[in-house]
């Protein structure tokens, strides 16, 4: 439990977005945790969506799902993976959530005739939110990442709320870390002016940064460091160089080497006490370094095809790629990911069999809607017929059932009603109780749900457990009217909801590895704790018998 009042680290971004601020926050969290501190992250997003549920992956990358069913920004995934924490909806504050809460209170008459304003009402709501999360989650340190770039209108009031809070709780309890870009001229000279400008924007909002993390192509040169320290009013040792590294997993190690956690702990006045004491996670960094060294020098590799619909936008599959990385890191196996655009397969633009030649495994990940579905079904057929290891996730399970129904059970035209509402064999369908309920988002099955695993199945062996909880995000289900027929044709239901009504896992016995789940196990994989399904899948890809 927390040893006293919490401390706060505030991470802002300057110059431009996409600098990897989330990774700095997650990496710092991992470093502070390795010192035995309880760390709670909060991500603030300025957009007006209440959650990320209806956001298109093209626009915003993957929609990440928490145990409690919150659909949120993918940065929360980065936090969970690196810090090895389980977060709640409250760890993601959006402008939409804050305003909804203030406006609902206004409608209930809670402001009693007052003019409801950004300051003090919305800022007050933000402050209470932050303090509540810190208290409820027993944090020693709260790491708050402010989305976007300083100077954006939509995050300005949030930065103001934090400024007020630092004033009320004492500036000594706050460390302001500003992440900026130090570009390089063709001559190789590192330029600090953009950093100076973004710090002056921050200052105009009443915040003096304590630490500057300078993102650059190459390590920061002494001259650039001195200039940043001088113009931005921070100590030279508090300018942390964060150069490009080959792998994101090296970032925490790099930040540790460059002293980020030490500097932050010092600013917070924790340097002599807890922050320096060896903590429960002290072995984590050593373990990460050992794994990376082995992984990066490993020569064994497999090719895995991902058949999807957003294949030119890798962010749409961030958690899937992370889960593959974690498992392959622990197996010291290099994975060459080959993207197959399901829409191209469907349109006959590419031949899936030749595309899958030389591939040792196939993943069909989650997805929505009709486009590309037939291309995925075709890939699943090849995986089943050719004995190529297959892992189906959510939509991937549904389409594996569709393929099996058509090819093995002889149900011609079988489909999901999501793809073909007129199908004669709706093997995947909405349950009767879901029909006619709510608008978009209303009927979605979200968050962690239990699955009972059947002893004797591959899935049961892989998990080594009778009951598992995985995160869900879907509307459709394997139609209970077809359960007996599918099972009768040899499809094994290796896991179901405790009442037996919903199919959670399927597998095929006469196949090296044909496993699919209605859930999204990729959301529970951690850098240092890979998910067993992914490890087993990759082992199967490299030819091991599972
Ligand atoms: N579109 C499917 C459903 O809603 C699957 C969703 C998914 O893959 N996340 O049930």
Average pLDDT over residues 13-17: 88
Q: Which residue range forms the structural domain that includes residue 364?
A: 292-541
pLDDT value for 273: 46
395 lines ligand 1 (CB under 6 A): yes
Segment 382-386 long-range contacts (CB within 8 Å, at least 24 positions apart): 382/352, 382/353, 382/356, 383/356, 383/514, 384/508, 384/511, 384/514, 386/356
Question: 106 an active-site residue?
Answer: no
Average pLDDT over residues 526-538: 97
pLDDT value for 460: 98
pLDDT value for 441: 40
Quote the ligand 1 centre to 477 CA distance (angstroms). Answer: 9
**CATH number of the domain enclosing 537:** 3.40.50.880
pLDDT value for 513: 98
pTM of the prediction? 0.93
Are 376 and 509 found together in one domain? yes
Per-residue pLDDT tens for 67-88? 999 999 889 999 999 999 999 9
Q: Is the pLDDT of residue 17 over 90?
A: no
pLDDT above 90: percentage of residues in the chain: 83
Q: Among 1-15, 16-30, 185-199, whose mean pLDDT is lowest?
A: 1-15
Q: Is the pLDDT of residue 2 over 60?
A: no
Q: Whose CA is nearest to atom 3 of ligand 1?
A: 474
Flag whether 139 is in a domain: yes
Average pLDDT over residues 161-180: 97
Per-residue pLDDT tens for 362-416? 999 999 999 999 999 999 999 999 999 999 999 999 999 999 999 999 999 999 9
366 lines ligand 1 (CB under 6 A): yes
In the chain, the number of structural domains is: 2
Indicate if the alpha-carbon torsion angle 378, 384, 388, 392 is positive or negative: positive
Atom of ligand 1 nearest to the CA of 367: 8
Average pLDDT over residues 138-163: 94
Q: Is the pLDDT of residue 53 over 90?
A: no
Flag whether 446 is in a domain: yes
pLDDT value for 495: 98
Last-in-domain residue among 258, 279, 300: 279
Q: Is the pLDDT of residue 451 over 60?
A: yes
Question: 520 an active-site residue?
Answer: yes
Instruction: Kindly tell me the burial class for residue 282, based on how many C-beta atoms sit within 10 Å of its own C-beta (0-12, 13-18, 19 or more).
Output: middle
Last-in-domain residue among 250, 279, 308: 279
Flag whether 431 is in a domain: yes
Distance CA 144, CA 158 (A): 11
Per-residue pLDDT tens for 419-444? 999 999 999 999 887 776 544 444 88
Average pLDDT over residues 218-244: 95
pLDDT value for 282: 62
Are 220 and 332 found together in one domain? no
Quote the ligand 1 centre to 420 CA distance (angstroms). Answer: 14
Torsion of CA 262, 265, 271, 275, to 10 degrees: -90
Are 254 and 108 found together in one domain? yes
Are 376 and 519 found together in one domain? yes
pLDDT value for 58: 66
Q: Is the pLDDT of residue 348 over 50?
A: yes
Are 332 and 480 found together in one domain? yes
Band of the pLDDT at 316, cuts 50, 70, 90?
A: confident
With contact defined as beta carbons under 8 Å apart, do 238 and 211 qualify? yes
From the candidates 394, 418, 460, 477, give the one annotated as an active-site residue.
394
Phi and psi based region of residue 69 (left: phi greater than 0; alpha: psi -120 to 50; beta: remaining): left
- Mutate which of 418, 421, 440 for ligand 1? The one with the most ligand atoms within 8 Å of its CB, which is 418
DSSP 140: S
Average pLDDT over residues 354-368: 93
Question: 489 an active-site residue?
Answer: no
Bigger pLDDT: 168 or 51?
168
Are 262 and 369 found together in one domain? no
- DSSP one-letter string for 76-139: HHHHHHHH-----GGGEEEHHHHHHHHHHHHHTTTTTTPPP-IIIIIHHHHHHHHHHHHHHTT-
Last-in-domain residue among 279, 305, 328: 279
Per-residue pLDDT tens for 101-147? 999 999 999 988 889 999 999 999 999 999 999 999 999 999 999 99
Are 109 and 248 found together in one domain? yes
Q: Whose CA is nearest to atom 1 of ligand 1?
A: 368
474 lines ligand 1 (CB under 6 A): yes
Q: Is the pLDDT of residue 279 over 70?
A: no
Q: Whose CA is nearest to atom 9 of ligand 1?
A: 366
Average pLDDT over residues 316-324: 95
- Residue whose token pair is 């003096």: 208
């Amino acid at each position: 439990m927390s040893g006293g009042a919490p401390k706060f680290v505030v991470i802002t971004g300057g110059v431009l977005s996409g600098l990897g601020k989330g990774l700095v926050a997650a990496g710092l969290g991992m470093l502070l945790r390795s010192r035995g501190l309880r760390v709670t992250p909060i991500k603030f997003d300025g957009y007006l969506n209440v959650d990320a549920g209806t956001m298109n992956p093209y626009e915003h990358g993957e929609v990440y799902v928490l145990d409690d069913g919150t659909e949120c920004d993918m940065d929360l995934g980065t936090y969970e993976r690196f810090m090895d924490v389980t977060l709640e909806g409250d760890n993601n504050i959006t402008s939409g959530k804050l305003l909804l809460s203030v406006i609902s209170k206004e409608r209930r008459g809670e402001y009693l005739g007052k003019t409801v304003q950004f300051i003090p009402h919305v800022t007050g709501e933000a402050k209470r939110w932050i303090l509540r999360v810190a208290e409820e989650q027993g944090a020693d340190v709260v790491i708050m990442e402010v989305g976007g770039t300083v100077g954006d209108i939509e995050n300005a009031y949030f930065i103001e709320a934090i400024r007020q809070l630092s004033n009320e709780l004492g500036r000594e309890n706050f460390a302001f870390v500003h992440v900026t870009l130090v570009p390089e001229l063709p001559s190789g000279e590192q330029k600090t002016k953009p950093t100076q400008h973004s710090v002056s924007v921050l200052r105009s909002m009443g915040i003096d940064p304590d630490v500057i993390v300078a993102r650059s192509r190459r390590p920061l040169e002494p001259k650039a460091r001195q200039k940043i320290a001088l113009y931005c009013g921070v100590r030279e040792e508090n300018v942390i160089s964060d150069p490009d590294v080959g792998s994101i997993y090296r970032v925490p190690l790099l930040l540790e080497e460059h002293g980020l956690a030490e500097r932050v702990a010092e600013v917070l006045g924790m340097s002599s006490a807890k922050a320096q004491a060896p903590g429960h996670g002290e072995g984590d960094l050593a373990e990460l370094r050992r794994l990376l060294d082995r992984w990066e020098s490993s020569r064994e590799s497999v090719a895995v095809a991902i058949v999807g619909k957003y294949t030119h936008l890798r962010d749409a599959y961030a958690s899937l790629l992370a889960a593959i990385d974690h498992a392959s890191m622990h197996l010291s196996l290099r994975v060459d990911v080959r993207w197959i655009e399901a829409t191209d397969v469907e349109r006959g633009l590419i031949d899936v069999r030749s595309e899958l030649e030389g591939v040792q495994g196939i993943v069909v990940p989650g997805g929505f809607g009709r486009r590309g579905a037939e291309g995925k079904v075709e890939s699943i057929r090849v995986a089943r017929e050719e004995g190529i290891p297959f892992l189906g996730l959510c939509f991937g399970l549904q389409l594996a059932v569709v393929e099996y129904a058509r090819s093995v059970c002889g149900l011609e035209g079988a489909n999901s009603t999501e793809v073909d509402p007129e199908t004669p064999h709706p093997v995947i369908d909405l349950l009767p109780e879901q029909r006619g309920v709510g608008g978009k988002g209303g009927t979605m099955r979200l968050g962690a749900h239990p699955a009972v695993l059947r002893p004797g199945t591959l899935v049961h062996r892989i998990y080594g457990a009778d009951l598992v909880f995985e995160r869900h995000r879907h509307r459709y289900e394997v139609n209970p009217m077809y359960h007996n027929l599918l099972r009768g044709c040899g499809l094994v239901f290796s896991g179901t909801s405790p009442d037996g009504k919903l199919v959670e896992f399927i597998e095929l016995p006469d196949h090296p590895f044909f496993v699919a789940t209605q859930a999204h196990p990729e959301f529970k994989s951690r850098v240092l704790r890979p998910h067993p399904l992914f490890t087993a899948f990759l082992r199967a890809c490299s030819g091991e018998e599972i």
